[in-house]
């Protein structure tokens, strides 16, 4: 057994050890430890992990998420990014200067470069990630797939201020929720965006560490109590749980470290042209820990997911609690020329709901 395989198989012990150390170390040392753990995780986690969502996620996303997104012109985050790059090219920005931040091994970005090349769209994509090994791997992939001339790769810590040559399109795909110095990062993005440029993102914007907000957890626990024992098996603990047990992933890494602050930090530097937020109480039942307990071919399981989604969607649309995910397009302050699109609520309303839930967590602690 290789060292990486051994480390991956014993990751739960490592997570608990890091979480315990992070509680007693000084703040600076704790942040460095979590950052180191995250870098190690990206090196050790098998690449196939991205394809291991449970089948019930596909049922929910195709039945509910995809139709809602399609009405907003979004078929997937990747196609959304591609269409916005092509729009920029149509507006006369050639070659389109694209910056993608927090890219990992750049699988999506290499795919975008291939599609743009095939469509005859002149573009250059700069990829940034804090992991030099992943940048080297990405450069090799781009070379093998004959798009290296259209791409550049740079290892950089985005918690530190930067200002790059002006970019027409900036993509932050599932990365904001890994950033500790969000205010600095958002200012760096602002300083690196052309006056008419667009910032695009698909990200997680729920409670820090991917915990549940109080009102979200109330709904989750209510449904959990109704489930038969077989449906309450938690793969994280490899055991049946009498109650759903939220896990603070920010305790041992930068996973979701400041997720709840993302929208507010973006509002301080940009205006939202599009803000599509979705998913809260439904999330635990369709992700990896619990989702494999449900079979999309079983009518009873379909009905359960339908019911949870209905109550979740109603709560989100009426502003009972904020969503945990977003797809968004933003521009410089004052640069949004058409009526902003928001579904189901505005970014400002999301921030207000987040503050309400944050206050509830503080009152519970008190």
User: Among 135, 62, 72, which Cα is nearest to 101's?
Assistant: 135
Same domain, 265 and 307: yes
Confidence (pLDDT) at 286: 98
Residue 276 binned pLDDT confidence (cut-offs 50, 70, 90)? very high
Query: Are the C-beta atoms of 253 and 18 separated by less than 8 Å?
Result: yes
Same domain, 191 and 69: yes
Residue 237 binned pLDDT confidence (cut-offs 50, 70, 90)? very high
Average pLDDT for the chain: 90
In a domain? residue 82: yes
Same domain, 42 and 73: no
Same domain, 247 and 319: yes
Residue 260 binned pLDDT confidence (cut-offs 50, 70, 90)? very high
DSSP element (H, E) containing 265 = helix 262-269
Alpha helix segments (H runs only) across 104-153:
107-118, 132-144
Average pLDDT over residues 81-95: 97
In a domain? residue 119: no
In a domain? residue 128: no
Helices 107-118 and 132-144: crossing angle in degrees, nearest 10, is 30
pLDDT value at 16 more than 70? no
- Could you write out the DSSP letters of every residue in 151-216? EEEEE--TTS---PSPEEEEEEES-GGG-S-HHHHHHHHHHTEEEEEEEEEEEE-SSGGGPPPHHH
Confidence (pLDDT) at 24: 46
Confidence (pLDDT) at 26: 53
Same domain, 31 and 165: no
Tokens standing for 155? 């290892």
pLDDT value at 315 more than 50? yes
Residue 119 binned pLDDT confidence (cut-offs 50, 70, 90)? very high
User: Among 353, 273, 250, 216, which Cα is nearest to 33's?
Assistant: 250
Same domain, 36 and 180: no
Residue 2 binned pLDDT confidence (cut-offs 50, 70, 90)? very low
Confidence (pLDDT) at 298: 98
- CA–CA distance, 284 with 94 (Å, rounded to integer): 43
Average pLDDT over residues 129-144: 97
In a domain? residue 267: yes
Same domain, 93 and 42: no
Confidence (pLDDT) at 28: 54
In a domain? residue 183: yes
Confidence (pLDDT) at 52: 81
Confidence (pLDDT) at 73: 96
- CA–CA distance, 158 with 179 (Å, rounded to integer): 7
Same domain, 297 and 283: yes
pLDDT value at 106 more than 90? yes
Same domain, 12 and 96: no
Confidence (pLDDT) at 365: 67
What DSSP designation does 132 have? H
Bridge partners (DSSP) listed for residue 277: 326
Same domain, 27 and 79: no
The structure tokens 């990829």 sit at 127
In a domain? residue 124: no
- CA–CA distance, 346 with 366 (Å, rounded to integer): 30
Count of structural domains within the chain: 2
Same domain, 217 and 275: yes
b/e code 44-77 from CB counts within 10 Å (16+ = b): beeeeeeeeebebbebbbeebbeeebeeeebeeb
In a domain? residue 360: yes
Average pLDDT over residues 133-162: 98
Asked which of 7-16, 132-141, 221-230, 248-257 is least confident by mean pLDDT, the reply is 7-16
Q: Read off the pLDDT of residues 19-75 as tens digits, 9 standing for 90 and up.
A: 444 444 455 544 454 454 445 444 544 444 445 899 999 999 999 999 999 999 999
- CA–CA distance, 252 with 164 (Å, rounded to integer): 31
- Which residue segment(s) compose the domain that 25 sits in? 3-47
Same domain, 217 and 304: yes
Residue 5 binned pLDDT confidence (cut-offs 50, 70, 90)? very low
- CA–CA distance, 263 with 163 (Å, rounded to integer): 21
pLDDT value at 176 more than 80? yes
Tokens standing for 5? 């395989």
In a domain? residue 111: no
Asked which of 32-36, 75-79, 152-156, 218-222 is least confident by mean pLDDT, the reply is 32-36
Q: Read off the pLDDT of residues 335-364 as tens digits, 9 standing for 90 and up.
A: 999 999 999 999 999 999 999 999 999 887
pLDDT value at 202 more than 70? yes
């Amino acid at each position: 057994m290789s060292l990486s395989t051994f480390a991956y198989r014993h990751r739960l012990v490592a997570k608990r050890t890091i979480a315990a150390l992070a509680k007693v170390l000084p703040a600076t040392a704790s942040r460095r430890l979590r950052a180191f753990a995250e870098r190690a995780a990206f090196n050790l986690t098998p690449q196939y992990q991205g394809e291991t969502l449970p089948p019930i996620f596909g049922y929910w996303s195709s039945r509910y998420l995809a139709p809602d997104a399609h009405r907003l012109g979004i078929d997937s985050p990747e196609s959304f990014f591609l269409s916005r790059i092509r729009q920029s090219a149509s507006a006369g920005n050639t070659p389109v200067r694209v910056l993608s931040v927090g890219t990992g091994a750049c699988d999506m970005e290499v795919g975008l470069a291939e599609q743009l090349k095939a469509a005859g769209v002149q573009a250059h994509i700069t990829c940034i990630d804090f992991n030099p090994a992943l940048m080297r791997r990405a450069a090799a992939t781009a070379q093998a797939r004959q798009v290296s001339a259209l791409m550049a790769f740079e290892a950089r810590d985005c918690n530190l201020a930067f200002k790059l040559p002006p970019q027409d399109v900036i993509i932050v795909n599932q990365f904001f929720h890994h950033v500790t110095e969000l205010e600095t990062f958002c200012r760096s993005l602002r300083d690196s965006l052309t006056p008419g440029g667009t910032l695009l993102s698909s990200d997680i914007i729920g409670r820090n560490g991917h915990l549940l907000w109080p009102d979200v957890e109330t709904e989750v626990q209510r449904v959990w109590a109704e489930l038969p024992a077989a449906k309450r098996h938690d793969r994280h603990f490899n055991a049946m749980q009498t109650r759903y047990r939220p896990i603070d992933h920010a305790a041992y890494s930068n996973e979701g470290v400041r997720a709840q602050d993302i929208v507010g930090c973006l509002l301080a530097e940009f205006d939202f042209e599009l803000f599509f937020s979705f998913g809260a109480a439904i999330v635990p039942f369709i992700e990896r820990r619990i989702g494999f307990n449900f079979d999309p071919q079983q009518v009873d399981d379909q009905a359960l997911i339908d019911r949870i989604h209905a109550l979740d969607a109603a709560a989100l649309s009426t502003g009972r609690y904020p969503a945990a995910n977003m797809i968004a397009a933003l521009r410089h302050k004052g640069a949004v020329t058409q009526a902003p699109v928001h579904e189901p609520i505005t970014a400002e309303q999301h921030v207000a709901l987040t503050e309400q839930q944050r206050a509830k967590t503080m009152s519970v602690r008190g």
